[in-house]
Each structure stands twice: as structure tokens, then as C-alpha cells.
Amino acid sequence: ALPFDRSADDCLFLPERAANRIWDMPSGAHRPAIRALTPEPSRAAYEAAVTRALEAMRASQGGAEPVDKVVLSRSLKVQGDGAIDPFALWRDLKADPTAARFLTPLGEGQGGAMRRLVGATPELLASKRGPAVFSHPLAGSARRSTDVVQDEAAAQSLLASDKDRREHALVVEAIMDLLAPYCSDLRAPTGPALVSTRTMWHLGTRIEGRLHRPDETSAAELAALLHPTPAVCGSPRDQAAEMIHALEGYDRGFYAGAVGWTNAFGDGAWYVSLRCAETCGDQARLYAGAGIVEGSDPAAEADETSGKFQAVLRALGVDEASV
């Protein structure tokens, strides 16, 4: 796993063996009752941070490096009445077949309990198979509805949204610019397509390329090159990261980082670590973010983060929490 902060330590390991099958666990693992959900920051504080971000972005427009987008996140601390089993959580996240599930150890945490990162992410950062390289960034989101008519309306509204299409274009352009020097051929559709998960609609673009020197570039190196994209940080990257540090007030850790694998031949797949939780003993911390661009509405961005919490909350046995 790669942390959000590029200067922080990675968490990488060499497994003793690899299995070419989908690992699963028996059903019936204990799922403790959730005693408390604590938003950090609160919804009101998050909306205030979005307002400050918009003001700072407008003020930057006359400078040498104007900030066009910043992604602000918030977290949700979960307290169980017993140990939260990350393996059971991983199993229960399979309810969304459109996402890639992951579970990785992060080392010893408070009280000697193992910290683990567990989630089900819909976003491919970079994959490599021989000379072929792929990325499928997602940016621009809307919460899904259980009502079929409202759900379709939300999807079409997202697809037609100028604000969300501008936000998405920043991500695609940044990834194309970074990959271009490594590729002899690089292509992407002229516009985004709708991508759905169980709880959210997203705008997505599939980027494909062929590497100049595939033997000299691994999937892990491509992930490190692209990470963090404007989908989870902003644009320009360094300036957006500084704004995030000033406004969020907490360390993202491995949220909005990357998780994946690379084999001995350099092939592999790395995903953006979204829809995830860091578990340790009887606690878990969930994260969700929203892209802020000109035209963003603080309340709507808070609603978006609330929707993104739902996938992991459901897997924890919490239905439609208002956070």
C-alpha cells in the first residue's frame, strides 16, 4: 500500500506464496454491534472547509500556480462493542461486484493490535500486462437512489453536469500528461462514461497505452508516477496537497493512496484506496472525499461524502447512517 502523502513511508511486503484463485472465508464470522459513529470533522466543519477552499482557489487564480481543483475528505470513527474483524468486513464488501476488494496489513497499532486497510475500490490507478498499460480514473460523482426513476435522473444529471465534467477532465489530462513520455501509443475517449457502484454514480474514462520499454517500467513504478491523481488530491498536485494539509486537520494515512501488487515480471494492478477503512481492535476509521472546483456547493459536497461512506457502513451492519 502507498500512503496519500508521497513523503510518508510505504507499506510493502513480499508474500511467501501467491494463489491464482479468489480467496474467501467461511460465512458466520462475528460482526460486533456498532456503539458509536463520530464524524471527524463534523458535517458543518466540513462544509466550512469547502467554503474556505473555494475562497483560496479563487485567490490563487492570479498567481503562478492557480489551483483549479482540491479534494477535501472527512473521516468517520467507528466504535464497536468488540473487535471489528477486517476479514469479515472484507467478505461482506463483496456485495458490490463492480469494486476491487483489498485487505492489507499496515503493522502494529495501539495496544498491540494489527492495523489493516480493508475496502472495495471502484478506481483503477494503473495496471500493466506486458507492454499494455491501463488506467480508469473516476471523478465527478452522484449518490444512487433505490427509486429507479430517480436513480436514472441522477445518472443523467451527472453526465450532463458542466461542473463534474470539468472536474473529470482535469484528472484525465493529468494522467495522460504523466503517461505520455512512457508510451508509444496513448489514447482515451473524448468524453467520460457513466460508471456505477452499488451506492454511487461516477464519471469514468478508460485510458489505454503501450509502453516504449515495458521491461524497464513496472506496474508499481507507474502507480508511484500517477499517485495521487487529481481525483483524490487536486490540480496542480503540490499546491492542492498543501491546501488539503491546511484545511483537513488530520493525516489521511493510506486513504486515497494506492493498494495493489506487482509480480516478478513487472506486471500488476494498483487501485486507488477508496471506500475503505483502517481497522485496529474495536475501532475503525472510514474516509470519504469530494472534488472541489468552481461551482461546488458545500452542502452537496458533504452529501457526496455521506454517500461514499455507505458501502463500508453497510458491510459493518449500519444501514443508511446520517453522517
Beta strands in 41-131 (DSSP E): 69-80, 100-108, 114-121, 124-129
Q: Which DSSP helix (H) or strand (E) runs through 288?
A: strand 283-292
C-alpha cell of 217?
Answer: 517500467
Q: Cα(133)–Cα(148) distance, rounded to whole angstroms?
A: 36
DSSP 8-state code for residue 11: -
Q: Given 47, 69, 167, 304, which residue is catalytic?
A: 69
- In this structure, how many other beta carbons lie within 10 angstroms of the beta carbon of residue 100? 17
The question of whether 123 is a catalytic residue gets the answer: yes
The question of whether 69 is a catalytic residue gets the answer: yes
Q: Given 47, 123, 248, 301, which residue is catalytic?
A: 123
Beta strands in 178-257 (DSSP E): 183-187, 193-196, 200-204, 207-211, 234-235
Q: Would you list the DSSP string of 163-200?
A: HHHHHHHHHHHHHHHHHGGGEEEEE--SS-EEEE-SSE
C-alpha cell of 59?
Answer: 485567490
C-alpha cell of 174?
Answer: 493529468
| Helices 298-315 and 43-60: angle between axes, nearest 10 degrees | 130
Kindly list the catalytic residues.
69, 123
